[in-house]
Amino acid sequence: MSNTNRYSIIGVGIGPFNIGLAALLAPVDDISAIFFDQADGFDWHPGLMFDDATLQVPFMADLVTMADPTSKYSFLNFMKESGRIYPFYIRENFFLFRKEYNAYCKWALSQLSSCKFSHKVVSIKYDNNVYEVGVMNTKTSEVSVYYAEKLVLGTGTTPHIPKFIDKNTLPKVIHTSEYLYRKSDILKNKSVSIIGSGQSAAEIFDDILPETRNGLQLNWFTRSSHFFPLDNNSKLTLELTSPEYVDYFHGLPYEKRKQLLKSQSGLYKGINKDLINKIFDTLYEMSVENTSLNVELRSNLELNKVAIDSNGAHNLHFNQTELQQPYHNQSDFVILATGYSYKEPDFLKGIEDKIDRIDNGLFNVQRNYAIDKKGDEIFVQNAELHTHGLVTPDLGMGAYRNSYIINQIAGREVYKIEDRIAFQEFGVASKKEAKLPEEALAI
């Protein structure tokens, strides 16, 4: 076994969460780590990189600040080194432009030699108490073997396409993640329908809306009961992203967690309130001179079939969920704002016997983010929505999760972890009776 290719941790996938992990591990001398991603470089949601789009979390939700405010990888240090900290200060806005966050992540990566792009993990097996990871250089096709005691899976989520949609036969049906790449083609059509009611759907609707003045028909359909705002303005509501609530949620039975997630969609799937208001104001302004707009918005519509007619148009078949009646519409182009879902990477088949699962086959993610049966070897990033709740994809809690993982792997407190931040209680135990999870107490 080559010592040059042996590490404490191998991370798979290089998105914001694993970049944060790499940054927080950089000053930890006794933990060696390397991260691989098959992409040629980092680019954060380029298909939705609108010039004026912002994050929905404040700038302190960067890669490291909530774990280590003194880190050289902080957003504020990026602004200082970029010569932009004073303009940022004068702007007096906590919310970064999406393209600004993208530039910040690339800046951090430029200093992290542990992150290797154009390297695809093709296999993992466990032998002699170590994980053997086969990695292919996508430029040369050469495969090398690396060894690690622990794994952190940060392969992220992928665009969710409904099963009844065959992208191979429906080239004019795309996911929102492709929007800016296809925008010029989209605007050549006479009608466009957006399916879904989250932030991405609203951003695309807002972007296309001016084109309706030139005759484009724009439809926006959602199965939700209404076009709802993201409930992130209430400070007590934001306490649902606290460690205490994660403890509480994790301790609930699976069916109760599943039920809660459905009821909490407005907390992590809604639309920025300012954007909703902007859309309404634009529609109102357009209606002053023309009461018959080339716009249709409908809620309570669940799409269940898409078929192309002889003229090349898409026939959209819906069910009105409250009336339980069919509704049909026709559109030249369809944009699916159907979100993202976690897809298990194929290489996990080589270590399937190591992975702990619940009855339905999902990862049984422990409170410390481990999915292996031993509970301290294989960790996940953004694959624990069903066990840890709405905080899972939240950039603001990425540093917290990484601190938890690092402390678990190190066996000591490398980064201080807040165990109580909320004013409210979520269970029935009093503050004196409340206890930390066993994993945290063992750190």
Asked if the structure places residue 260 within a domain, the reply is no
DSSP code at position 218: E
Q: Is residue 369 within 8 Å of 409, Cβ to Cβ?
A: no
CATH number of the domain that residue 412 is part of: 3.50.50.60
- The token pair that represents 185 in the structure block: 């083609």
Stretch 290-304: mean pLDDT: 94
Stretch 294-308: mean pLDDT: 95
- The token pair that represents 182 in the structure block: 């296809």
Q: Which helix (H) or strand (E) holds 327?
A: strand 325-331
* Summary mean pLDDT of the chain: 93
Residue 258 has a pLDDT of 93
Q: Is residue 79 within 8 Å of 97, Cβ to Cβ?
A: no
Shared domain check, 70 and 166: no
Stretch 183-211: mean pLDDT: 96
Shared domain check, 284 and 150: no
Q: Which of 336, 359, 385 is the last residue of a domain?
A: 336
What tens digit of pLDDT does each residue of 144-186 get?
Answer: 999 999 999 999 899 999 999 998 899 999 999 999 999 999 9
State what percent of residues in the chain have pLDDT above 90. Answer: 83
Q: Is residue 386 within 8 Å of 7, Cβ to Cβ?
A: no
Shared domain check, 401 and 320: no
Residue 221 has a pLDDT of 97
Shared domain check, 409 and 370: yes
Shared domain check, 211 and 330: yes
Shared domain check, 92 and 19: yes
Q: Say how far apart CA 36 and CA 346 lie, in whole Å.
A: 15
Residue 443 has a pLDDT of 43
Residue 197 has a pLDDT of 87
Q: Say how far apart CA 437 and CA 368 lie, in whole Å.
A: 9
Q: Which of 136, 109, 130 is nearest to 8 (CA)?
A: 130
Residue 263 has a pLDDT of 86
Is 37's pLDDT higher than 80?
yes
Q: Which helix (H) or strand (E) holds 279?
A: helix 273-289
Asked if the structure places residue 236 within a domain, the reply is no
What letter represents residue 65's amino acid?
T
Non-local (6+) Cβ contacts of 276 within 8 A are 202, 227, 229
Stretch 216-226: mean pLDDT: 94
Shared domain check, 346 and 312: no
Is 229's pLDDT higher than 60?
yes
Asked if the structure places residue 40 within a domain, the reply is yes
Residue 235 has a pLDDT of 87
Strand partners, 54: 97
Shared domain check, 111 and 181: no
Shared domain check, 151 and 41: yes
Asked if the structure places residue 43 within a domain, the reply is yes
Q: Is residue 443 within 8 Å of 368, Cβ to Cβ?
A: no
Asked if the structure places residue 181 within a domain, the reply is yes
Residue 440 has a pLDDT of 45
Confidence of residue 232 (pLDDT cuts 50, 70, 90): low
Asked if the structure places residue 372 within a domain, the reply is yes
Q: Which of 316, 336, 356 is the last residue of a domain?
A: 336
Shared domain check, 420 and 348: yes
Q: Helices (DSSP H) in 214-272: which residue ranges?
A: 235-238, 243-250, 254-263, 265-268
pTM reported for the whole predicted model: 0.92
Is 441's pLDDT higher than 50?
no
Shared domain check, 291 and 218: yes
The boundaries of the domain holding residue 290 are 161-230+269-336
| Angstrom distances, CA of residue 287 to CA of 206, 227, 282 | 16, 20, 9
Residue 228 has a pLDDT of 86
Residue 322 has a pLDDT of 95
Q: Which of 315, 336, 357 is the last residue of a domain?
A: 336
Is 290's pLDDT higher than 90?
no
| Angstrom distances, CA of residue 366 to CA of 50, 246, 374 | 37, 11, 10
Asked if the structure places residue 261 within a domain, the reply is no
What letter represents residue 404's amino acid?
Y
What tens digit of pLDDT does each residue of 80-100 get?
Answer: 999 999 999 999 999 999 999
What tens digit of pLDDT does each residue of 245-283 get?
Answer: 999 999 999 999 999 998 887 777 888 888 999 999 999
Q: Which of 388, 233, 225 is nearest to 321 (CA)?
A: 225
Tokens 């918005």 appear where?
297
Q: Say how far apart CA 292 and CA 439 lie, in whole Å.
A: 61
Confidence of residue 433 (pLDDT cuts 50, 70, 90): low
- The token pair that represents 245 in the structure block: 């609530």
- The token pair that represents 263 in the structure block: 């009821």
Residue 3 has a pLDDT of 66
Category of 369 on φ-ψ map: left (φ > 0), alpha (ψ -120 to 50) or beta: left
Asked if the structure places residue 13 within a domain, the reply is yes
Shared domain check, 176 and 48: no
Residue 266 has a pLDDT of 73
Number of domains in the chain: 2
Strand partners, 328: 317
DSSP code at position 213: G
Per DSSP, the three-state class of 205 is helix
Strand partners, 301: 320
